[in-house]
Amino acid sequence: MSGKVKVAVLGATGMIGQRFVEMLEDHPYFEIEGLYASERSEGKRFGDTLKVRDYNYKQETLDMKISKMDVDHISKACRIAFSGIPSELAGPTETELAQKGVAVFTNAGSHRMDPHVPIIVPEVNTDQFCSIKDQDTYGNGGYIVTNANCSSTGIVVPLRALNDAFGLNEVFVSTYQAISGAGYPGVPSLDIVGNVIPFISHEEEKMETELAKMLGTYADGEFKYAGFKVMANCARVPVIDGHTESLVIDMKESPSIEEVAKVLADFRGEPQKLGLPSAPEQPIIVRAEENRPQPIYDVFAGTPDRARGMASSVGRIRCSNGYYKMWVVSHNTLRGGAGGSMLNAEYAYKKGIL
């Protein structure tokens, strides 16, 4: 008996599911009870479903078999379900699991706008964790916590730091999103090799609402959105992993570039204070070079161990006509996907919410 919390990985043959598995190898709090996916994959060896290029699974993990999703079994065997199910399918399964008493930490978008479901990035808004108590299933021990959309996650930590220090008025963001963000098989190669696709379904709407929800508050049983405006343009580019984002920000105060850089580099949140296993020591890495951050170098930035894809790198902080301009790179399926929910679950564990 390891004494670790048993967890199910849902959607284990997909891009996000496989990142969950990666983060669960030798995890100090959690251990994998089973890998679940659709009936089509039942019985397959995990190693034969690989989608992640830079994988480094143990042999015993590669040899695990995929099981068919079985809500009853999972709810009996596991305290936690990590969900990498595609958003269009995730909703009902996640609801059912929560009803049966499972704590669901999900990357899917299905429940992000539900009245009492929080979107948590624990460097940003652990105060909103309390909303789970208002979920119908909470009495049962079951609840749903979502991580943010990958593009929102990459910039929400820097925005939190800047909002706290200087106040945000308006955020103009253009994204350069990696193809792993579209899952597998995802984007056909004929569509993206040598191309830019300036459209990702519902992505801009998600960014424009999720950021305000996360930087807002939860009180009296409802979420109150933060007051700043977000204008988002989202595009796909031929990059494997790592979203790059161009930011122009109108702030209430007028700090110097150095002050902005210092506030970002010095920012620490709850995961850092609590020493959560997946937390990067420094959630925001500020780059001084004239041409960074870049996905190929910065997607795994930070310590320990290059932060396992959990830090946001910010660079080229400049000011133009009173607006602050900068670039951000983050790992879209780690920080912006599986890593987000992993950190949420670690927070819940550490705070005794499990």
Which spans of this chain sit near its own copies (rule: CB under 8 A)? 15, 48, 50-51, 53-56, 59, 170, 172, 174, 176, 179-180, 184-199, 204, 208, 229-233, 235, 237-240, 244, 246-248, 289-297, 303, 305-306, 315-316, 320-321, 323, 325, 327
Q: Which residues pair with 217 in a beta bridge?
A: 224
Dist. CA 170–CA 228, nearest whole Å: 5
Nearest alpha carbon to residue 279 among 33, 9, 3, 23? 23
Least CB distance to its own copies at residue 176 (A): 5
**Looking at beta carbons only, is 112 or 308 nearer to its own copies?**
308
Which is nearer to its own copies, 1 or 193 (by Cβ)?
Answer: 193
What is the nearest approach in angstroms of its own copies to the Cβ of residue 139?
A: 40
Active site residue 234: no
Closest distance to its own copies from the beta carbon of 283 (Å): 18
Element containing residue 250 per DSSP (H, E): strand 243-251
* Tally of residues, the chain: 354
The distance of closest approach from Cβ of residue 55 to its own copies in the complex, given in angstroms and rounded to an integer, is 8
For its own copies, the closer CB: 5 or 284: 284
Which amino acid, 146? T
What minimum distance in Å lies between the beta carbon of 191 and its own copies? 7
User: What distance in Å separates the CA atoms of residue 303 and residue 297, rounded to the nearest whole number?
Assistant: 14
Residue 346 contacts by C-beta under 8 Å, 6 or more apart in sequence? 29, 271, 276, 277, 278, 279
Q: Which of 78, 150, 234, 331 is catalytic?
A: 150
Q: Is residue 130 annotated as part of the catalytic site, yes or no?
A: no
Specify the residue, 214 or 328, whose C-beta has the smaller distance to its own copies: 328
**Residue in 78, 111, 116, 243 annotated catalytic:** 243
Residue 196 vs 257, nearer CB to its own copies = 196
100's CB contacts (< 8 A; 6+ apart) are 71, 72, 75, 140, 142
DSSP of 278-321, one letter per residue?
Answer: T--SSSEEEE-STT---HHHHTT-SSSGGGGG-PEEEEEEEEET
Active site residues: 150, 243
